[in-house]
A and B are shown apart, each in its own frame.
Chain A
Amino acid sequence: EAGVTQSPTHLIKTRGQQVTLRCSPISGHTSVYWYQQALGLGLQFLLWYDEGEERNRGNFPPRFSGRQFPNYSSELNVNALELEDSALYLCASSRDRLHLIPQHFGDGTRLSIL
């Protein structure tokens, strides 16, 4: 069984640009979570999608957004990039809403803002 896959693995952008990160959950999983992991910090909850809908979001500004597609894959979009957006962005999936926590994480997209 393939795990959670994220693309790209690394990305370099400059301030003010926009970026789109992609995530494919484990086959059959309908819930997708996004987390930001800044250097030396824990994981900060960004967004949760289930069955194509945004169900909850963390304390991040509106320039962080995303969506979930009918095949349950997901995109995270970040507009007007700032230096402090440099971080590892992790996607996780769970089988369904009965599983309350992110069960399986991808290896992340490392975003560097210059």
Chain B
Amino acid sequence: GENVEQHPSTLSVQEGDSAVIKCTYSDSASNYFPWYKQELGKGPQLIIDIRSNVGEKKDQRIAVTLNKTAKHFSLHITETQPEDSAVYFCAAYTGGFKTIFGAGTRLFVKA
């Protein structure tokens, strides 16, 4: 069935370094890939998304890349700050208004 794998499950970086989170999806029909950030005690917040006709998208310190052939996509955060510490979820839209989420990456940014 449809599946989204996300790695790593935990990531610890020094403030100012970059962080990369990778996801792989199984449904080749997936065409829309959002990323969410979930802070402690809060619901997920949509931070960036990419559609299948685009290879890369940037928004200030965050960027997403997509490789449709390999069926994987990544989130890149540059110049990390302590407030970037959160759980990040990748997701893939599979049609029928159904979005499949990865298991999440807990990012720690050490000051």
Contact = CB atoms under 8 A, between A and B. Distances in A.
The size bracket of the interface on B is 20 to 34
B43 A4 contact: yes
A41 B4 CA distance: 12
Nearest to B45: A105
B43 A31 contact: no
24 contacts: A4-B43, A33-B97, A41-B103, A42-B4, A42-B6, A42-B102, A43-B44, A43-B91, A43-B101, A48-B97, A55-B96, A56-B97, A56-B98, A58-B98, A92-B43, A100-B97, A100-B99, A101-B32, A101-B34, A101-B91, A102-B99, A104-B46, A105-B36, A107-B41
Given A48-B97, A103-B46, A105-B43, 14 more contacts: A33-B97, A41-B103, A41-B104, A42-B4, A42-B101, A42-B104, A43-B44, A43-B101, A56-B98, A90-B43, A100-B32, A100-B99, A101-B91, A106-B43
